[in-house]
A = this chain, B = another copy of it.
Amino acid sequence: MQPKATEQQVQHVCQLVKDMGLTDHVIHGTELTVVAVIGEDRRKDQGRLEQAPGVDRVMRVLAPYKLAARESRQERSIVRLSEQCTFGGKDISIIAGPCSVESEEQIMQTARMVKEAGAHALRGGAFKPRTNPYAFQGMGEDGLKLLAAARAETGLAVVTEVVTPDDVELVSKYADCLQIGTRNAQNYKLLEAVGAQSKPVLYKRGMSMTIDEYLQATEYILAGGNNNVVLCERGIRTFEDHTRNTLSLSAVPELHHRTHLPVVIDPSHGTGHARLVPAMARAAVAAGCDGLAIEVHPDPEHALTDGAQSVTPAVLAEMIASVRRVAEAVDRRCGEPVTLAV
């Protein structure tokens, strides 16, 4: 309450609390009075009380999400995309591939190269949400088919983005994991749609979402019955201009503290510059992440999208080797690279 709130105003607030089906509890301080509101308030709108006369502020004590919360589960969740690709256990899995599927040759070549470099899953966009409407928007279903073909050849799990509820069924037919991009992080209809099916979801944090908002939005997926959610920090929007976004690695220990879900880091979008990716990938693993998502293009100079942040397969291979050493230094594991039979 405000310092000069009257006893009548305090009583009015207590009545409002009772009207909400909650319990009130008044604390008289030396300079002001506080009304504690007790009860399961996660579904209540705290804004309602702020307008009552004499009220100074409403502060929330209880986190407004439940299924994602650490308290709701004893163990960490493990999300499995394929036998070689899991998130949340001892293994650190690496998702690698181009921003967009551009052609059969490009995706097949990349798939083979990232497999040999040691990656566990192939990423590649068939439906691309581009900032600019005149930019390349993706190959659509043809791109999905190419990803499936690349999986058939390499055994890599396939991760690809879905941008609208109507495409969820189609994309889940081809993919092992559906990605929700940062621009759709609060597209709740889309979150509901991926929550209503059973394929794992790689859910990227919105570029200006707090951790609290992120976990509340995650509830949209979990509430639909799909618990196979992998969280992904991909950089937040700040004043910094040496990177495209600011990669906030403290999200890793914080999310592990608050939720049982695995956490993947995307240093490619998180920095926007290929030269910063390897150092940040190592840092992410040292911070305790459960996986990495890396943009790779065999020829970044000629990529149709996001060339600046793509590393070459050669850089990827070197990076995974160094990541493996860091993983072991923090008692994790990152599987050995595989040479594909010719």
Contacts and interface: CB of A to CB of B under 8 A. Distances in A.
A149 interface: no
Contacts of A43: 132, 134-135
A300 B48 CA distance: 6
Given A45-B305, A250-B247, A239 B242 contact: no
Contacts of A40: 30-31
Interface stretch (A75-83, A115-123, A159-167): A159-167
A260 to B, nearest CB: 14
B246 A248 contact: yes
Interface string A27-42: 1111110101011101
How many chain A residues sit at the interface, stated as a range, is 35 or more
Most buried by B among A52, A243, A257, A282: A282
Nearest to A282: B286
A280 interface: yes
Interface in A241-287: 241-243, 246-254, 257, 270-271, 273-276, 279-280, 282-287
A254 B57 CA distance: 13
A219 B132 contact: yes
Given A165-B164, A253-B280, A274-B51, A61 B45 contact: no
A59 B61 CA distance: 9
Contact of A50 (B42, B240, B248, B308): B308
Most buried by B among A210, A247, A308: A308
Most buried by B among A38, A47, A329: A47
Interface string A222-236: 010000000000001
Given A43-B132, A301-B49, A309-B47, A252 B236 contact: no
Contacts of A308: 46-48, 50-51, 58
A36 B38 contact: no
Given A239-B239, A305-B45, A330-B326, A30 B36 contact: no
A47 B237 contact: no
Nearest to A326: B329
Contact of A240 (B236, B257, B273): B236
Contact of A45 (B249, B254, B306, B325): B306
A237 B220 contact: no
A16 interface: yes
Contacts of A52: 301
Contacts of A38: 27-30
A208 interface: yes
Interface in A286-309: 286-288, 300-309
Nearest to A12: B301
Contact of A300 (B28, B51, B223, B325): B51
Interface string A124-148: 0000011111111000000000000
